[in-house]
Amino acid sequence: MRKLSLKELNRVSPKEFKEQKKAPIIIVLDNVRSALNVGSAFRTADAFALEKIYLCGITATPPHREILKTAIGATESMDWEYQKEVGETLQQLKAEGYTLLAVEQVDERTYLQDFKADKTKKYALILGNEVKGVSEEAIALTDQCLEVPQYGTKHSLNVSVCLGVVTWELFRQLKF
């Protein structure tokens, strides 16, 4: 066994990426305070060829040193937009036919392993602030809340880790 070289990975160029078909998933970051988490979201969105990222509220926007540090160029390949109000963003996405999925711990949640994606639908994944989580305003507009079950002493995963886990599961169900 040997590691593959970058050339052997046969990755598309940023131009080819912009033109390729995307997975029907959008990421919405609701007041995410860490620019490092934002950069990781860009990198995850690029890895799974997602449609777009919306950065809302206090969420940092490119170019920002910490975003660029973790995104490693994904800010150039990914479509993104800043919108001050998460509620307006979610209403717009709902009007465009997206199913809104908040990743949050609520009383009426669906555990990630029990969620069944519909291949005919488009999804928007909403992740929230590192301390306060997804805003009440956003939760009120969502169609469903997903929760990643956890069995340790901490009550949450890091935003970027949680985003990677949930994105992979949704992508896996829609693509395979």
Tens digit of pLDDT for each residue in 24-38? 999 999 999 999 999
Tokens of 70: 């973790």
pTM of the model: 0.96
Residue written as tokens 């935003």? 159
Per-position DSSP letters for 82-125, written without gaps between them:
EES-HHHHHHHHHHTTEEEEEE---TTEEEGGG----TT-EEEE
Pick from 21, 52, 25, 20: which is nearest to 122 by CA? 25
Render pLDDT for 72-98 as a digit per residue (tens, 0 to 9). 999 999 999 999 999 999 999 999 999
Q: Where exactly are the structural domains of the chain?
A: 20-175
Provide the CATH topology of domain 20-175: Alpha/beta knot (3.40.1280)
